[in-house]
Amino acid sequence: MPVDNEIYNRLSSTWWDEQGFLNILRTAANPGRFGYFREVLLKQVGVDPAGKKALDVGCGGGLLAEEFARLGCQVTGIDPSEPSLATARAHARQSGLDIEYRVGVGEALPFADEAFDLVYCCDVLEHVNDLAQVLAEISRVLRGGGLFLYDTINQTLQSKLIAIKLLQEWKFTSVMPPKTHDWTMFIKPQRLQELMRQQGLASQEIVGLKPAASPMAIIGSLRQHKRGELSFAELGSRLHVQQSKDTSVSYMGYAIKSAKHA
């Protein structure tokens, strides 16, 4: 069952809408993953983000681009969905943020070699047509010694149960549109690390992303949403995805581009 990436065109106006499906990424995923990325930048690697050129690959409506812009980065976002980019541009203007948004795909980034100090790619790697080519392009536009930050979904029985069955297929709990994800496109960490290594991206760390809520609390919140008692934004806050040692469903991490690969 191939993924339906046209979802992001059809739902492009809902990225910042608390009643919209895409907004769940802002309230559920962003606090945990951006908190981790900020920790990597400021403490683990010790990079001052002010003025650093950052590329958001698959930026959608700008949910993470605005976080990095507020951190002081000069952010460029790229995405194949022009309607989503229109939403991102409008929200950035309203927020007083200077972010450049361009149409494009990860397999053919329209930028010069070594143009960025930092590249991040979230909720994207499990959707692309050619994962190896996307990583090759990310490495190409990243300067030697630069950082690559990411998150994605593991290919395990747990991820099939949660990301596919519970959240996408079972009518009593599903919150995602059909074909949002395809389990065969999920990525085992070992495979991602090997593909990164081939492109001179040395993996430094992989950590899990997991809801703080218990399984029963999650199911209860999903049922409340299905009954119209919780908005997507409220549901996301209830799920409260955070850093974990458990990588069985979702994981995130960072890599550093080898200077000799530049």
pLDDT 10s digits, 233-244 = 999 999 989 999
**Is 2 within a domain?**
no
Q: Which residue, chain included where needed, has tokens 């698959």?
A: 58
Q: How far is CA 11 from its chain centroid?
A: 17
Cβ atoms 47, 41 nearer than 8 A: yes
**Is 161 within a domain?**
yes
- Strand partners of residue 102: 78
The CATH number covering residue 141 comes to 3.40.50.150
Q: Side-chain half-sphere of 169: how many Cα atoms within 13 Å?
A: 11
Q: How far is CA 134 from its chain centroid?
A: 14
- Which token pair is 102? 């361009």
pLDDT per position as a tens digit, 38-90 = 999 999 999 999 999 999 999 999 999 999 999 999 999 999 999 999 999 99
**Is 213 within a domain?**
yes
**Is 243 within a domain?**
yes
pLDDT of residue 260 exceeding 80, the answer is no
Strands (E), 154-240: 201-211
* pTM recorded for the entire structure: 0.96
Q: pLDDT category, 1, cuts 50, 70, 90?
A: low
Q: Count of domains in the chain?
A: 1
The pLDDT of residue 78 is 98
Q: What is the mean pLDDT of residues 108-130?
A: 97
Torsion region of 58: left, alpha or beta (phi above 0 gives left; psi -120 to 50 gives alpha): left
**Is 87 within a domain?**
yes
pLDDT per position as a tens digit, 181-221 = 999 999 999 999 999 999 999 999 999 999 988 999 999 99
Portion of the chain with pLDDT greater than 90, in percent = 94
Give the domain extent around 157.
Answer: 7-261
**Is 172 within a domain?**
yes
**Is 126 within a domain?**
yes
pLDDT of residue 37 exceeding 60, the answer is yes
What whole-number distance in Å separates Cα of residue 139 and Cα of residue 194? 14
**Is 1 within a domain?**
no
User: Residue 159: phi, psi to the nearest 5?
Assistant: -70, -35
User: Residue 13: phi, psi to the nearest 5?
Assistant: -80, -5
